[in-house]
Amino acid sequence: MNWRDYITSDPTIMFGKPVIKGTRIPVDLILEKLGNGETIAQLLESYPRATETGLYACLLFASETVKNEVVYAQAG
């Protein structure tokens, strides 16, 4: 799947934040909710305009976005 088919960024929608195409659902909101344990089924119920494919595209978008970032873990 190509996330670019499902994710867009437009300065006139949500101040240019990446959103699921055809919605005002920001990618970061979906990632946060998944990170807090919500399921795809719960998200689809909460956001009827979202699709399962669109939700998975959010994960691919995030993966590609951070793929080339260098992050240094701090010693605990």
How far does Cα 13 stand from its chain's mean position?
Answer: 15
**CA dihedral of 37, 39, 44, 47, whole degrees rounded to 10:** 0
pLDDT in tens, 23-58: 999 999 999 999 999 999 999 999 999 999 999 999
Instruction: Flag whether pLDDT at 18 surpasses 80.
Output: yes
Structural domain boundaries in the chain: 3-66
Asked whether the predicted pLDDT for residue 65 surpasses 80, the reply is: yes
Q: What is the CATH number assigned to the segment(s) 3-66?
A: 1.10.10.10
